[in-house]
Structure 1
Protein backbone atom coordinates (compact mmCIF):
# COMPACT_ATOMS: atom_id res chain seq x y z
CA UNK A 1 0.00 0.00 0.00
CA UNK A 2 2.81 2.42 0.84
CA UNK A 3 4.40 1.71 -2.55
CA UNK A 4 1.13 2.55 -4.29
CA UNK A 5 0.78 5.82 -2.38
CA UNK A 6 4.36 6.72 -3.24
CA UNK A 7 3.78 6.07 -6.93
CA UNK A 8 0.63 8.17 -6.95
CA UNK A 9 2.41 11.01 -5.20
CA UNK A 10 5.25 10.93 -7.73
CA UNK A 11 2.86 10.84 -10.66
CA UNK A 12 0.97 13.95 -9.50
CA UNK A 13 4.17 15.93 -9.82
CA UNK A 14 5.08 14.81 -13.34
CA UNK A 15 4.24 17.65 -15.71
CA UNK A 16 2.16 16.70 -18.70
CA UNK A 17 1.17 13.26 -17.51
CA UNK A 18 -2.08 14.20 -15.80
CA UNK A 19 -4.89 15.11 -18.14
CA UNK A 20 -7.99 17.23 -17.45
CA UNK A 21 -11.46 16.10 -16.44
CA UNK A 22 -13.17 13.68 -18.83
CA UNK A 23 -9.94 12.84 -20.67
CA UNK A 24 -9.90 9.25 -21.86
CA UNK A 25 -6.81 7.18 -22.47
CA UNK A 26 -6.40 5.07 -25.62
CA UNK A 27 -9.97 5.71 -26.75
CA UNK A 28 -11.49 4.22 -23.61
CA UNK A 29 -10.02 4.67 -20.17
CA UNK A 30 -11.50 5.85 -16.90
CA UNK A 31 -14.96 7.45 -16.77
CA UNK A 32 -17.12 8.86 -13.97
CA UNK A 33 -20.90 8.84 -13.68
CA UNK A 34 -21.12 12.38 -12.27
CA UNK A 35 -19.53 15.75 -13.02
CA UNK A 36 -20.23 17.32 -9.62
CA UNK A 37 -21.58 16.47 -6.17
CA UNK A 38 -24.09 18.70 -4.38
CA UNK A 39 -24.67 17.96 -0.70
CA UNK A 40 -27.91 19.25 0.74
CA UNK A 41 -27.83 19.76 4.51
CA UNK A 42 -29.96 16.67 5.18
CA UNK A 43 -27.62 14.37 3.25
CA UNK A 44 -24.74 12.52 4.85
CA UNK A 45 -23.36 10.71 1.81
CA UNK A 46 -23.16 10.87 -1.98
CA UNK A 47 -21.93 8.21 -4.37
CA UNK A 48 -20.48 8.03 -7.84
CA UNK A 49 -19.16 5.18 -9.93
CA UNK A 50 -15.65 4.97 -11.41
CA UNK A 51 -15.67 2.84 -14.57
CA UNK A 52 -12.68 1.23 -16.24
CA UNK A 53 -13.47 0.95 -19.95
CA UNK A 54 -9.92 -0.02 -20.90
CA UNK A 55 -8.16 -3.36 -21.20
CA UNK A 56 -5.69 -2.73 -18.38
CA UNK A 57 -5.82 -2.18 -14.63
CA UNK A 58 -5.61 1.27 -13.04
CA UNK A 59 -4.74 2.54 -9.57
CA UNK A 60 -7.37 4.98 -8.30
CA UNK A 61 -6.58 7.51 -5.56
CA UNK A 62 -9.34 9.85 -4.31
CA UNK A 63 -9.51 12.63 -1.72
CA UNK A 64 -11.37 15.84 -0.93
CA UNK A 65 -9.56 19.19 -1.23
CA UNK A 66 -10.18 22.80 -0.31
CA UNK A 67 -8.48 24.15 -3.46
CA UNK A 68 -7.53 22.83 -6.90
CA UNK A 69 -3.81 23.31 -6.21
CA UNK A 70 -3.89 20.25 -3.99
CA UNK A 71 -4.22 22.03 -0.64
CA UNK A 72 -6.20 20.15 1.99
CA UNK A 73 -6.58 22.19 5.17
CA UNK A 74 -9.22 19.84 6.51
CA UNK A 75 -12.42 19.47 4.51
CA UNK A 76 -15.68 18.25 6.07
CA UNK A 77 -15.71 15.27 3.69
CA UNK A 78 -13.97 11.92 3.50
CA UNK A 79 -13.80 9.55 0.52
CA UNK A 80 -13.94 5.78 0.71
CA UNK A 81 -12.20 3.74 -0.53
CA UNK A 82 -9.38 6.30 -0.86
CA UNK A 83 -7.09 3.94 -2.81
CA UNK A 84 -7.86 0.82 -4.83
CA UNK A 85 -6.94 -1.18 -7.91
CA UNK A 86 -9.58 -1.19 -10.65
CA UNK A 87 -9.31 -4.15 -13.00
CA UNK A 88 -10.02 -3.96 -16.73
CA UNK A 89 -13.72 -3.70 -17.55
CA UNK A 90 -14.72 -3.29 -13.89
CA UNK A 91 -16.30 -0.49 -11.89
CA UNK A 92 -16.16 0.70 -8.30
CA UNK A 93 -18.54 2.84 -6.25
CA UNK A 94 -16.95 5.76 -4.41
CA UNK A 95 -18.71 7.08 -1.33
CA UNK A 96 -18.20 10.66 -0.18
CA UNK A 97 -19.21 11.12 3.45
CA UNK A 98 -19.92 14.41 5.19
CA UNK A 99 -18.50 14.29 8.70
CA UNK A 100 -19.44 17.83 9.76
CA UNK A 101 -21.14 21.02 8.56
CA UNK A 102 -19.09 23.76 6.89
CA UNK A 103 -19.15 27.02 8.90
CA UNK A 104 -21.01 29.10 6.28
CA UNK A 105 -24.76 28.62 6.66
CA UNK A 106 -26.04 31.63 4.67
CA UNK A 107 -24.44 30.53 1.38
CA UNK A 108 -23.02 27.50 -0.39
CA UNK A 109 -19.48 26.29 0.31
CA UNK A 110 -17.19 24.87 -2.38
CA UNK A 111 -14.71 22.01 -2.12
CA UNK A 112 -13.27 19.58 -4.66
CA UNK A 113 -13.16 15.83 -5.15
CA UNK A 114 -9.82 14.90 -6.72
CA UNK A 115 -9.60 11.49 -8.40
CA UNK A 116 -6.29 10.34 -9.88
CA UNK A 117 -6.08 7.31 -12.13
CA UNK A 118 -2.71 5.76 -12.97
CA UNK A 119 -2.26 2.69 -15.18
CA UNK A 120 -0.85 -0.27 -13.30
CA UNK A 121 1.80 -2.61 -14.58
CA UNK A 122 0.62 -5.95 -15.92
CA UNK A 123 3.18 -7.67 -13.67
CA UNK A 124 1.80 -7.12 -10.20
CA UNK A 125 0.51 -4.46 -7.85
CA UNK A 126 3.89 -4.21 -6.19
CA UNK A 127 5.60 -3.62 -9.51
CA UNK A 128 3.09 -0.98 -10.68
CA UNK A 129 4.75 1.68 -12.79
CA UNK A 130 3.58 5.08 -13.95
CA UNK A 131 3.38 5.60 -17.71
CA UNK A 132 0.56 8.16 -18.01
CA UNK A 133 -2.28 9.33 -15.86
CA UNK A 134 -5.64 11.01 -15.60
CA UNK A 135 -6.89 13.47 -13.04
CA UNK A 136 -10.55 14.31 -12.45
CA UNK A 137 -11.44 17.38 -10.38
CA UNK A 138 -15.11 17.49 -9.45
CA UNK A 139 -16.84 20.34 -7.66
CA UNK A 140 -18.08 19.33 -4.24
CA UNK A 141 -20.74 21.80 -3.10
CA UNK A 142 -22.40 21.98 0.30
CA UNK A 143 -25.86 23.63 0.36
CA UNK A 144 -27.12 24.73 3.81
CA UNK A 145 -30.63 23.89 5.00
CA UNK A 146 -31.99 27.42 4.57
CA UNK A 147 -31.16 27.36 0.84
CA UNK A 148 -33.98 25.53 -0.90
CA UNK A 149 -34.52 25.47 -4.65
CA UNK A 150 -37.89 25.14 -6.32
CA UNK A 151 -36.28 24.10 -9.60
CA UNK A 152 -33.04 25.30 -11.21
CA UNK A 153 -30.28 27.42 -9.75
CA UNK A 154 -31.12 31.14 -10.18
CA UNK A 155 -28.62 31.68 -13.02
CA UNK A 156 -30.93 34.21 -14.71
CA UNK A 157 -30.57 36.50 -11.68
CA UNK A 158 -27.02 37.44 -12.73
CA UNK A 159 -26.59 41.15 -13.36
CA UNK A 160 -24.37 42.51 -16.13
CA UNK A 161 -23.07 46.05 -16.49
CA UNK A 162 -20.28 47.85 -18.32
CA UNK A 163 -17.12 48.46 -16.34
CA UNK A 164 -14.37 50.45 -18.06
CA UNK A 165 -13.28 48.36 -21.05
CA UNK A 166 -14.86 45.21 -19.68
CA UNK A 167 -18.12 43.74 -18.52
CA UNK A 168 -18.97 43.35 -14.84
CA UNK A 169 -21.09 40.35 -13.83
CA UNK A 170 -22.55 40.12 -10.34
CA UNK A 171 -24.09 37.12 -8.61
CA UNK A 172 -26.67 38.38 -6.07
CA UNK A 173 -27.58 34.84 -4.95
CA UNK A 174 -26.17 32.60 -2.18
CA UNK A 175 -25.40 29.87 -4.78
CA UNK A 176 -22.34 29.12 -6.88
CA UNK A 177 -23.32 29.88 -10.47
CA UNK A 178 -21.29 28.30 -13.27
CA UNK A 179 -21.79 29.55 -16.82
CA UNK A 180 -21.54 26.84 -19.44
CA UNK A 181 -22.45 29.25 -22.27
CA UNK A 182 -21.86 33.02 -22.43
CA UNK A 183 -22.22 35.30 -25.46
CA UNK A 184 -21.64 39.04 -25.64
CA UNK A 185 -23.51 40.75 -28.48
CA UNK A 186 -23.80 37.38 -30.19
CA UNK A 187 -20.12 36.45 -29.87
CA UNK A 188 -19.03 33.52 -27.66
CA UNK A 189 -16.92 34.55 -24.69
CA UNK A 190 -14.29 32.25 -23.26
CA UNK A 191 -13.18 33.10 -19.73
CA UNK A 192 -9.70 31.55 -19.63
CA UNK A 193 -10.99 28.77 -21.93
CA UNK A 194 -13.06 27.26 -19.11
CA UNK A 195 -16.55 27.76 -17.67
CA UNK A 196 -16.91 30.87 -15.55
CA UNK A 197 -17.91 30.23 -11.94
CA UNK A 198 -19.23 33.06 -9.78
CA UNK A 199 -19.18 32.59 -5.99
CA UNK A 200 -22.17 33.56 -3.84
CA UNK A 201 -22.61 37.36 -3.75
CA UNK A 202 -19.48 37.63 -5.91
CA UNK A 203 -18.52 39.84 -8.82
CA UNK A 204 -16.08 39.46 -11.71
CA UNK A 205 -15.02 41.75 -14.53
CA UNK A 206 -14.69 40.07 -17.93
CA UNK A 207 -12.61 41.26 -20.87
CA UNK A 208 -14.69 42.58 -23.74
CA UNK A 209 -13.73 43.74 -27.23
CA UNK A 210 -15.86 46.86 -26.83
CA UNK A 211 -18.98 48.15 -25.07
CA UNK A 212 -21.35 45.23 -24.56
CA UNK A 213 -25.07 45.76 -25.03
CA UNK A 214 -26.72 42.33 -25.06
CA UNK A 215 -25.78 39.23 -23.04
CA UNK A 216 -27.08 35.67 -23.28
CA UNK A 217 -25.98 32.83 -21.04
CA UNK A 218 -26.79 29.40 -19.68
CA UNK A 219 -25.91 28.20 -16.22
CA UNK A 220 -24.90 24.66 -15.26
CA UNK A 221 -27.42 22.83 -13.10
CA UNK A 222 -26.84 20.39 -10.24
CA UNK A 223 -26.72 17.46 -12.67
CA UNK A 224 -23.98 19.05 -14.79
CA UNK A 225 -26.30 19.92 -17.68
CA UNK A 226 -27.22 23.31 -19.11
CA UNK A 227 -30.05 25.33 -17.54
CA UNK A 228 -32.55 27.31 -19.66
CA UNK A 229 -31.26 30.26 -21.71
CA UNK A 230 -31.08 33.67 -20.01
CA UNK A 231 -31.00 37.08 -21.72
CA UNK A 232 -30.31 40.60 -20.49
CA UNK A 233 -29.15 44.00 -21.60
CA UNK A 234 -25.92 45.17 -20.00
CA UNK A 235 -26.43 48.27 -17.87
CA UNK A 236 -24.42 51.26 -19.16
CA UNK A 237 -22.75 51.81 -15.78
CA UNK A 238 -21.54 49.36 -13.17
CA UNK A 239 -24.27 48.19 -10.80
CA UNK A 240 -23.82 48.50 -7.03
Structure 2
Protein backbone atom coordinates (compact mmCIF):
# COMPACT_ATOMS: atom_id res chain seq x y z
CA UNK A 1 0.00 0.00 0.00
CA UNK A 2 1.25 3.46 -0.84
CA UNK A 3 2.06 5.85 1.94
CA UNK A 4 -0.11 8.95 2.04
CA UNK A 5 2.86 11.16 1.11
CA UNK A 6 3.20 9.26 -2.19
CA UNK A 7 -0.42 9.66 -3.34
CA UNK A 8 -0.02 13.11 -4.92
CA UNK A 9 3.16 12.34 -6.94
CA UNK A 10 1.70 8.99 -8.01
CA UNK A 11 -1.58 10.59 -9.13
CA UNK A 12 0.31 13.39 -10.94
CA UNK A 13 2.45 10.81 -12.79
CA UNK A 14 -0.65 8.90 -13.89
CA UNK A 15 -2.23 12.11 -15.19
CA UNK A 16 0.88 13.10 -17.15
CA UNK A 17 1.24 9.74 -18.88
CA UNK A 18 -2.48 9.16 -19.42
CA UNK A 19 -2.51 11.55 -22.39
CA UNK A 20 -0.62 8.91 -24.37
CA UNK A 21 -3.34 6.29 -23.92
CA UNK A 22 -5.87 6.75 -26.70
CA UNK A 23 -8.70 4.46 -27.68
CA UNK A 24 -9.35 3.97 -31.38
CA UNK A 25 -13.02 3.02 -30.99
CA UNK A 26 -15.83 5.39 -30.07
CA UNK A 27 -19.43 4.29 -29.58
CA UNK A 28 -22.55 6.22 -30.50
CA UNK A 29 -23.83 6.08 -26.91
CA UNK A 30 -22.86 5.64 -23.29
CA UNK A 31 -25.71 3.26 -22.51
CA UNK A 32 -28.17 1.35 -24.62
CA UNK A 33 -31.79 0.47 -23.80
CA UNK A 34 -33.36 -2.59 -25.39
CA UNK A 35 -37.13 -2.28 -25.13
CA UNK A 36 -39.24 -5.43 -25.06
CA UNK A 37 -40.90 -5.98 -28.42
CA UNK A 38 -37.85 -4.92 -30.45
CA UNK A 39 -36.16 -7.63 -32.46
CA UNK A 40 -32.76 -5.94 -32.15
CA UNK A 41 -30.99 -2.67 -31.47
CA UNK A 42 -28.01 -1.16 -33.26
CA UNK A 43 -24.71 0.08 -31.88
CA UNK A 44 -22.34 2.04 -34.13
CA UNK A 45 -18.60 1.68 -33.54
CA UNK A 46 -16.42 4.44 -35.04
CA UNK A 47 -12.72 3.85 -35.69
CA UNK A 48 -11.10 7.25 -35.02
CA UNK A 49 -7.61 5.87 -35.70
CA UNK A 50 -5.51 6.18 -38.85
CA UNK A 51 -5.04 2.38 -38.86
CA UNK A 52 -7.21 -0.65 -39.47
CA UNK A 53 -8.30 -2.37 -36.25
CA UNK A 54 -10.01 -5.60 -35.39
CA UNK A 55 -12.86 -5.73 -32.93
CA UNK A 56 -14.66 -8.18 -30.68
CA UNK A 57 -18.07 -7.71 -29.06
CA UNK A 58 -19.79 -9.64 -26.28
CA UNK A 59 -22.48 -9.12 -23.64
CA UNK A 60 -22.01 -10.05 -19.99
CA UNK A 61 -25.04 -11.06 -17.96
CA UNK A 62 -24.71 -9.35 -14.59
CA UNK A 63 -27.82 -10.80 -12.97
CA UNK A 64 -28.69 -13.96 -14.91
CA UNK A 65 -26.94 -17.31 -14.31
CA UNK A 66 -23.64 -17.70 -16.19
CA UNK A 67 -25.02 -20.43 -18.42
CA UNK A 68 -27.76 -18.23 -19.80
CA UNK A 69 -27.20 -15.99 -22.83
CA UNK A 70 -29.63 -13.12 -23.23
CA UNK A 71 -28.13 -11.11 -26.13
CA UNK A 72 -25.98 -12.07 -29.10
CA UNK A 73 -23.99 -9.40 -30.97
CA UNK A 74 -23.78 -9.71 -34.76
CA UNK A 75 -21.02 -9.64 -35.88
CA UNK A 76 -19.10 -10.65 -32.79
CA UNK A 77 -15.74 -10.21 -34.57
CA UNK A 78 -15.07 -7.57 -37.21
CA UNK A 79 -12.40 -5.58 -39.02
CA UNK A 80 -12.82 -1.83 -39.32
CA UNK A 81 -10.75 0.37 -41.61
CA UNK A 82 -9.36 3.76 -40.58
CA UNK A 83 -12.00 6.42 -39.96
CA UNK A 84 -14.82 4.00 -40.81
CA UNK A 85 -17.90 2.75 -38.92
CA UNK A 86 -19.12 -0.72 -38.01
CA UNK A 87 -22.77 -1.44 -37.25
CA UNK A 88 -23.34 -4.01 -34.51
CA UNK A 89 -26.78 -5.54 -33.98
CA UNK A 90 -27.74 -6.88 -30.57
CA UNK A 91 -30.27 -9.71 -30.83
CA UNK A 92 -32.30 -10.89 -27.83
CA UNK A 93 -32.26 -14.68 -27.66
CA UNK A 94 -34.18 -15.42 -24.46
CA UNK A 95 -37.59 -14.61 -23.01
CA UNK A 96 -36.40 -15.49 -19.52
CA UNK A 97 -36.18 -11.94 -18.17
CA UNK A 98 -38.25 -10.22 -15.47
CA UNK A 99 -41.40 -8.49 -16.71
CA UNK A 100 -41.74 -6.17 -13.70
CA UNK A 101 -38.27 -4.55 -13.59
CA UNK A 102 -35.36 -3.65 -15.81
CA UNK A 103 -32.45 -6.07 -16.30
CA UNK A 104 -28.90 -4.81 -16.63
CA UNK A 105 -26.07 -6.18 -18.76
CA UNK A 106 -22.58 -5.07 -19.72
CA UNK A 107 -21.81 -4.55 -23.42
CA UNK A 108 -18.08 -5.06 -24.11
CA UNK A 109 -16.40 -3.80 -27.27
CA UNK A 110 -12.72 -4.74 -27.43
CA UNK A 111 -10.42 -3.19 -29.99
CA UNK A 112 -7.70 -5.41 -31.41
CA UNK A 113 -4.84 -3.13 -32.48
CA UNK A 114 -2.53 -3.84 -35.40
CA UNK A 115 1.04 -4.90 -34.69
CA UNK A 116 3.66 -2.51 -36.01
CA UNK A 117 6.43 -4.76 -37.38
CA UNK A 118 8.78 -1.80 -37.84
CA UNK A 119 8.77 -1.28 -34.04
CA UNK A 120 9.33 -4.75 -32.58
CA UNK A 121 9.65 -3.53 -28.97
CA UNK A 122 6.54 -1.35 -28.93
CA UNK A 123 3.85 -2.11 -26.37
CA UNK A 124 0.45 -2.67 -27.94
CA UNK A 125 -2.57 -2.33 -25.67
CA UNK A 126 -6.04 -3.58 -26.51
CA UNK A 127 -8.68 -1.30 -24.98
CA UNK A 128 -11.98 -2.78 -23.85
CA UNK A 129 -14.92 -0.35 -23.69
CA UNK A 130 -17.76 -1.37 -21.38
CA UNK A 131 -21.16 0.32 -21.41
CA UNK A 132 -24.49 -0.50 -19.83
CA UNK A 133 -27.12 -2.43 -21.75
CA UNK A 134 -30.53 -2.23 -20.09
CA UNK A 135 -33.48 -4.44 -21.00
CA UNK A 136 -36.78 -2.64 -20.36
CA UNK A 137 -40.02 -4.71 -20.33
CA UNK A 138 -43.14 -3.36 -22.07
CA UNK A 139 -44.88 -2.72 -18.75
CA UNK A 140 -42.25 -0.06 -17.90
CA UNK A 141 -41.70 1.68 -21.24
CA UNK A 142 -44.04 4.65 -20.72
CA UNK A 143 -43.96 4.90 -16.91
CA UNK A 144 -40.45 6.23 -16.16
CA UNK A 145 -41.34 9.92 -15.83
CA UNK A 146 -40.32 11.39 -12.42
CA UNK A 147 -39.31 7.96 -11.04
CA UNK A 148 -35.96 9.37 -9.85
CA UNK A 149 -37.87 11.40 -7.25
CA UNK A 150 -38.57 8.12 -5.42
CA UNK A 151 -34.88 7.47 -4.70
CA UNK A 152 -34.26 7.68 -0.95
CA UNK A 153 -31.20 8.99 0.86
CA UNK A 154 -30.61 7.17 4.15
CA UNK A 155 -28.03 7.99 6.77
CA UNK A 156 -26.69 5.51 9.28
CA UNK A 157 -24.04 7.06 11.49
CA UNK A 158 -21.56 8.71 9.15
CA UNK A 159 -22.55 6.61 6.11
CA UNK A 160 -24.92 7.70 3.34
CA UNK A 161 -26.88 5.20 1.26
CA UNK A 162 -29.07 5.60 -1.80
CA UNK A 163 -32.04 3.26 -1.93
CA UNK A 164 -33.78 2.74 -5.26
CA UNK A 165 -37.27 1.26 -4.70
CA UNK A 166 -38.15 1.64 -8.40
CA UNK A 167 -37.88 -1.03 -11.10
CA UNK A 168 -35.50 1.23 -13.10
CA UNK A 169 -31.72 1.61 -13.25
CA UNK A 170 -30.36 5.14 -12.97
CA UNK A 171 -26.94 6.43 -13.99
Q: Structure 1's 131 and 27: CA in aligned 2 closer, same or farther, altered over 3 A?
A: closer
User: Where does structure 2 lack aligned partners over 5 or more consecutive residues?
Assistant: 1-17
Aligned partners of 1:118 and 1:25: how far apart in 2?
Answer: 17
Aligned residues: 149
Are positions 1:142 and 2:135 aligned together?
Answer: yes
TM-superposed deviation, 1:39? 1.1
TM-superposed deviation, 1:153? 6.1
User: Where does structure 1 lack aligned partners over 5 or more consecutive residues?
Assistant: 1-22, 124-128, 179-240
Listed as ranges, the matches of 1:4-23 within 5 Å are: none
The answer to whether the 8 A contact 1:56-1:122 is kept is: no
Listed as ranges, the matches of 1:209-224 within 5 Å are: none
Q: Structure 1's 28 and 83: CA in aligned 2 closer, same or farther, altered over 3 A?
A: closer
Are positions 1:37 and 2:32 aligned together?
Answer: yes
TM-superposed deviation, 1:87? 1.3
Are positions 1:88 and 2:82 aligned together?
Answer: yes
Q: Which of 68, 75, 85 is 1:74 aligned to?
A: 68
TM-score (norm 1): 0.55
The answer to whether the 8 A contact 2:54-2:113 is kept is: yes
Q: Structure 1's 152 and 121: CA in aligned 2 closer, same or farther, altered over 3 A?
A: farther
Q: Any idea what the Cα deviations from partners look like across 1:118-154, whole Å, max 9, x if unmatched? A: 212367xxxxx98111111111111112113356462
Q: Which has the higher helix share?
A: 2
Aligned partners of 1:92 and 1:43: how far apart in 2?
Answer: 21
Which portions of structure 1, spanning 4 or more consecutive aligned residues, are displaced by more than 3 angstroms? Answer: 23-28, 150-153
TM-superposed deviation, 1:98? 0.8
Q: Which protein has greater RCO, CA pairs closer than 8 Å, 6+ apart?
A: 2
RMSD: 2.7
